[in-house]
Amino acid sequence: MQQIISLLQELGFSQYEAQAYFALLQQSNVTGYELAKNSGIPASKIYPTLNKLVDKDVVVVVSANPKKYLPKPPDEILSRFRNDYLGTVDSLSDKLNKVYSEDALLTSHIWNLTDYPVIIEKLREFVDEADATVYLSVWDEELDAISDTLGAAAARGVDITTVHFGAKRLGIGKEYHHGGEHYIRLERGGRRITLIIDDDRVILAHFRNDGSCDAVWTANSSLVLLAKDYITHDIYTIRIHEQFGEKAEKLFEKV
């Protein structure tokens, strides 16, 4: 009984209101005097309590002389509470989101991620949210994990530019093969990924050869621009090498 009383109080019932409603469910069509005895509510408190329950449309009066009381069915009451609660949540969501400045929060923070599945899920979320452009520098392992969501983005008209480290190809958008994966993996101790969507947000991750990983993401415009410059620089390097081959290699060796 006490658990039910406590749960009713969580829905906004007072102690006496909860006791009265619970007692009416057990024995209805009773007078206030009878209900006071059945519920343990003091006689001086029973009628003010019943009046509040009537006002809340939880209890109804079924006769006038003497007044007798019936509880409304629990399913009806709980359904109303559920609808009222969800309506309040929806209303608050609209109002609070107007106050909450998401753009200001995103541009002033760098968010850290350390778990591989979480990082992959964030990458997929980014691509799913892309409206216009995706710039991506990626290795085969992570390309496998996000290729389907990249395909879906391309299908809805997102322009995708990818720099690949590895043998895989998407077959969508503009693709560039970096090459030298073995030496880069040894030099860096693992793989990296850079993903920029809509020139608005970036996520950068490092997947180490020992299995550990970490990532950061942000909407900070300076970091977004820096990451895009990094990918663009790789693309220019790849295109120069494709055009000039060994001459380009010798040129860069002198830098």
Spell out a b/e string for 191-220, using b for 16 or more CB atoms within 10 Å of the CB, else e.
bbbbbbbbebbbbbbbbeeeeebebebbbb
How much is the pLDDT for 69? 93
Strands (E), 20-97: 59-64, 67-71
**pLDDT tens per residue, range 84-106:** 889 888 888 888 777 665 555 56
Quick check: 160 and 149 in contact, CB under 8 A? no
Distance CA 87, CA 6 (A): 23
Q: What is the DSSP string of 203-239?
A: EEEEEETTS-EEEEEE--HHHHHHHHHHHHHHHHHHH
At residue 102, the 3 state secondary structure works out as helix
Name all domains of the chain by residue range, CATH numbers in brackets: 2-75 (1.10.10.10), 103-253 (3.30.870.10)
- pLDDT of 47 above 70: yes
**Other residues' Cβ atoms within 10 Å of the Cβ of residue 117:** 8
**Residues of the chain with pLDDT > 90: what percent?**
63
**Looking at this protein, which amino acid is placed at residue 103?**
D
**pLDDT tens per residue, range 174-191:** 999 987 777 887 888 889
**Longest CA span, the chain:** 107
Quick check: 68 and 61 in contact, CB under 8 A? yes
Average pLDDT, the chain: 88
| Greater model confidence, 232 or 187 | 232
How much is the pLDDT for 1? 81
How much is the pLDDT for 239? 86
- pLDDT of 255 above 60: no
pTM, two decimals, is: 0.58
**Other residues' Cβ atoms within 10 Å of the Cβ of residue 72:** 17
**Looking at this protein, which amino acid is placed at residue 244?**
F
Could you give phi then psi for residue 230, rounded to 5 degrees? Answer: -60, -45
Distance CA 14, CA 230 (A): 63
60: which strand partners?
A: 70
Distance CA 178, CA 58 (A): 70
Distance CA 206, CA 192 (A): 4
| Eight-class DSSP state of 193 | E
How much is the pLDDT for 105? 56
Mean per-residue pLDDT for 123-148? 94
Name which of 31-40, 45-54, 62-71, 105-114 the model is least confident about: 105-114
Distance CA 4, CA 94 (A): 33
Could you give phi then psi for residue 112, rounded to 5 degrees? Answer: -105, 140
How much is the pLDDT for 19? 94
Confidence band, pLDDT 50/70/90 cuts, at residue 199: very high
Quick check: 20 and 50 in contact, CB under 8 A? yes
